């Protein structure tokens, strides 16, 4: 999935391209972002939290069918929703790490894309010894 983003004040509207990609039309300063770019933004945000990292892609798919990537995202009504699989250091307080990951990812990805991040769901899928 890819999407186009730019300054919110110049946004004209959202739509789906013939390729199936979600796109936003802007009057100026268009930029196309790929899945890999979104994953890289999320990876950077998560790695800034001590004791947290993105889990290996697809590892959780063996347990929860339908989950294939450590980062899944979608746009709904011009807002970004993210679903993350993270591994944390053994002994970490899981709710604290999950809250910090949510806050950091929302702030970083929102700032880099100019989109409003309305949800960051964090699933702890692994522990690092």
Could you read off the pLDDT of 21-36 as tens digits, one per residue?
444 433 234 456 678 8
Separation CA 101–CA 114 (nearest Å): 19
Encode pLDDT of 74-110 as tens digits: 888 878 999 999 999 999 999 999 999 999 999 999 9
Output DSSP code: residue 60.
G
**H/E/C letters for each residue in 44-57?**
HHHHCCCCEEECCC
pLDDT at residue 63 greater than cutoff 80: no
pLDDT of residue 57: 66
Token digits for 9? 């004040």
CATH of domain 34-128: 3.30.70.1350
Domain locations in the chain as residue ranges: 34-128
Strands 79-89, 31-33: parallel, antiparallel or unpaired by DSSP?
Answer: unpaired
Q: Which two tokens stand for residue 89?
A: 């250091």
pLDDT at residue 44, rounded to an integer: 97
Q: State residue 35's pLDDT score.
A: 82
Structure tokens at 107: 């702030």
- pTM of the predicted model over 0.75: no
């Amino acid at each position: 999935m890819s999407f186009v983003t730019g300054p919110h004040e110049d946004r004209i509207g959202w739509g789906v391209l013939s390729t199936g990609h979600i796109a936003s039309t802007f009057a100026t300063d268009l930029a196309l972002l790929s899945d890999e770019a979104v994953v890289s933004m999320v990876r950077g945000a998560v790695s800034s939290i001590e004791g947290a990292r993105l889990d290996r892609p697809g590892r959780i798919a063996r347990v929860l069918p339908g989950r294939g990537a450590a980062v899944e995202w979608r746009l709904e009504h011009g807002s970004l929703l993210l679903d993350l699989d993270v591994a944390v250091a053994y002994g970490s307080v899981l709710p604290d790490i999950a809250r910090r990951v949510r806050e950091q990812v929302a702030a970083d990805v929102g700032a880099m894309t100019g989109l409003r991040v309305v949800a960051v769901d964090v699933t702890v899928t692994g522990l690092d010894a």
